[in-house]
Amino acid sequence: MGARIVLHSDAIAPITTYEDFPFSLVAAVRYGGFSPVEAVHACTGLAAEAIGLGDVAGALASGKAADVLVVDGDLSADIRAITRTRHVLRDGRVVAAGGWVRTTSSAISGQELWRRAID
* Cβ–Cβ under 8 Å, residues 96 and 85: yes
More confident position, 111 or 119: 111
The percentage of residues in the chain with a pLDDT greater than 70, rounded to a whole number, is 77
Which residues constitute the domain of residue 100?
18-116
Residue 1 lies in a domain: no
Residue 4 lies in a domain: no
Residue 47 lies in a domain: yes
Q: Exposed/middle/buried for 54, CB within 10 Å: 0-12, 13-18, 19+?
A: middle
Q: Exposed/middle/buried for 7, CB within 10 Å: 0-12, 13-18, 19+?
A: buried
pLDDT above 70 (res 104): no
Distance CA 32, CA 67 (A): 26
Residue 97 lies in a domain: yes
Q: Average per-residue pLDDT in the chain?
A: 81
Beta bridge partners of 102: 114
Residues near 56 by Cβ (< 8 Å), separated by ≥ 6?
Answer: 48, 63, 64, 65
Residue 55 lies in a domain: yes
Residue 75 lies in a domain: yes
Q: How many domains does the chain have?
A: 1
Cα distances from 102 to residues 17, 30, 44, 53, 93, in angstroms, run 20, 32, 22, 26, 10
pTM: 0.75
Give pLDDT, residue 119: 42
Q: Which of 60, 37, 57 is nearest to 47 (CA)?
A: 57
State pLDDT tens for residues 6-57.
Answer: 887 654 556 666 677 888 899 999 999 999 999 999 999 999 999 999 999 8
Residue 51 lies in a domain: yes
